[in-house]
Chains A and B, each alone.
Chain A
Amino acid sequence: NAGVTQTPKFQVLKTGQSMTLQCAQDMNHNSMYWYRQDPGMGLRLIYYSASEGTTDKGEVPNGYNVSRLNKREFSLRLESAAPSQTSVYFCASIDGTSAYEQYFGPGTRLTVT
């Protein structure tokens, strides 16, 4: 039982490049989330998926897109990376029916130069 996994762990991009961050969970959770964490800003919600087939914007969605590929997988895409997107990105999931504690992945540290 791996929990929530994320790939890659580290990534360096040049301004304007695109990339996709991958997230998968093996806990049969219904809802999945993407956050970014910046010093002094705490965890900020980018997008979430309450259930398979649905996605919604969070607090800071500009510059990002998401895909809920199936119940296990939720990806985050940066179409044209900007230095302001330098951050640590976390994926999380919850059961969403009787339990709402979120379980987090190990994070992806992204640097945009």
Chain B
Amino acid sequence: EDQVTQSPEALRLQEGESSSLNCSYTVSGLRGLFWYRQDPGKGPEFLFTLYSAGEEKEKERLKATLTKKESFLHITAPKPEDSATYLCAVHGASNTGKLIFGQGTTLQVKP
């Protein structure tokens, strides 16, 4: 059974304090790992897709990396506007077209 676990559940950072969010997964035949950002009262917003171990994607202060067992979302010098819940999801070969989501990490960046 495909599973996704995110840690920590919540993270508080000072502005400029870099850190990483973890997404551990088990999936038979990874076809893609996805990162989303969700602001309060809004739908998840797509950030990145990673397909194979060693792959990296970057967008502004965010960088996503992938190994065979986990993915990291690195946040460099975060700003208060980076505060949100970050969701990780996997697409596996045994669940074509369906994503399995983690519980999310809620990030708060204080000025």
Contact = CB atoms under 8 A, between A and B. Distances in A.
User: Is chain B found bound to chain A in the same assembly?
Assistant: yes
Interface of A: 4, 31, 33, 40-43, 45, 48, 50, 58, 90, 92, 94, 96, 99-107
Contacts of B59: none
Interface of B: 31-32, 34, 36, 41-46, 49, 87, 89, 91, 97-99, 101-104
A108 B87 CA distance: 19
A6 to B, nearest CB: 8
Nearest to B46: A101
Contacts of B45: 104
A4 B42 CA distance: 12
Nearest to B32: A100
A-B CB proximity, top 7 nearest:
A104-B43, A43-B101, A42-B103, A104-B44, A100-B91, A101-B46, A106-B43
A94 B97 contact: yes
Contacts of A102: 34, 44, 46, 89, 99
